[in-house]
Amino acid sequence: MTMISLNSFTFTEKMRDHKGIIRFTDAESLQVKAAQVRLSTLKAISKAQKGATGSAMSVIEMLVALYYGHLATGPVMNFDPENPGHPDQDYFVLSKGAAAPALYSVLADLGFFDRSELDFLAKDGALLSMAQGAKVPGVTFNNFVPGHGLSVALGLALSLKMDRKNNKVFTVLGDGELQCGQVWEAMMAAAHYKLDNLICLIDGNGVQGDSKLSAVMDIGSLQDKFEAFGWKVIQVTDGHDFDKLLVAIDRAFTVIRRPICIWCRTVPGKGVDFAEGKSSYQDVPLSEGEMSVVIPKLEQLICKN
């Protein structure tokens, strides 16, 4: 088993926890897993012929780091696919609803439900809908309205604190959701209650459905507001770099008496060369022709490693 050093921490390259889930600490193994999740997500969206390619692609590395990452102190997230909702689990809330297919791909890969369900994404009567449903194993709550996820995560974190439990609550928000007033109300409440068990990752891809709104977004100002509201902000200059993501998460675990915001600068459409950074791919599926170009590249990346 290979040992690597990362910012003064020493990690094993690959390990399996007591639930049989393989966790990784080296960037190369996590990149392969990200390629697998990216491919299954793109296939699901393409078969459904609905979904947000750009939005889903920009969160892949964050999801992989949370669900498959392992730090010197143990797994990033504690969960059990065979017993969802067990008392000692950590919680994940995907506030960025447009990225639901990416979360489904992770959950299917981990065994929360059969992979074949991805083939029926958004079909009538299917388990998996574009709007997350709480009936899906591994999904924490129904998500229909942007900006509600942080409030749900806040409630979970506060409840755990009141019960004197050490479980953590993770949530991923799109940067566009920060224009919702409810997000800022939840932020103030989280700081008031000193919820250091709440870790919020921001998908800062800078592209929203309305390009005019994207143009006026002042990232520095938003981060200053998090700090002013009592949060600890940790910068990740490349939200697709697993070394940086794992170090940021490890730092988040050391913060006390403050909720944590990990601001990740990401690229919409990441991993799809012709779609990267293009708002035109933000909320659309890829065509069959486009998929025929993307699939061999991702498969080559997976097989090469």
d(C-alpha 41, C-alpha 106), whole Å:
9
Contact 223, 252 (CB under 8 A): no
201/149 Cα distance (integer angstroms) = 12
Residue 41 per-residue DSSP state: H
Domain-wise residue ranges, the chain: 13-304
Q: What is the pLDDT of residues 107-121, one digit of tens each?
A: 999 999 999 999 999
CA dist., res. 96 & res. 162, Å (int)? 27
CA distance 33 to 48: 23
pLDDT tens digits for 268-302?
999 999 999 888 888 889 999 999 999 999 999 89
Query: Are residues 285 and 45 in contact, defined by beta-carbon separation less than 8 angstroms?
Result: yes
DSSP 69: B
Cα-based distances in Å from 157 to 56, 87, 89, 197, 303: 26, 13, 12, 6, 40
pLDDT at residue 211 above 50? no
Q: Does the pLDDT at position 142 exceed 90? A: no
- Homologous superfamily (CATH) of 13-304 is Thiamin diphosphate (ThDP)-binding fold, Pyr/PP domains (3.40.50.970)
Complete DSSP assignment for 108-155? HHHTSS-GGGGGGTT-TT-S--SS--TTSTT--S---STT-HHHHHHH
Q: Decide if 197 contacts 169 (C-beta within 8 A).
A: yes
Q: Nearest to residue 283, comparing CAs of 297, 268, 272? A: 268
What is the model's pLDDT at position 84?
A: 74
**Alpha-carbon gap, residue 216 to 200, rounded angstroms:** 23
Length of the chain: 305
pTM score > 0.85 for this model?
A: yes
Contact 103, 132 (CB under 8 A): yes
Mean pLDDT score, 183-198: 96
Please, is 251 exposed, middle or buried when counting C-beta atoms within 10 Å of its C-beta (0-12, 13-18, 19+)? middle
pLDDT number for residue 214: 44
pLDDT digits (tens, 9 = 90+) for 249-260: 999 999 999 999
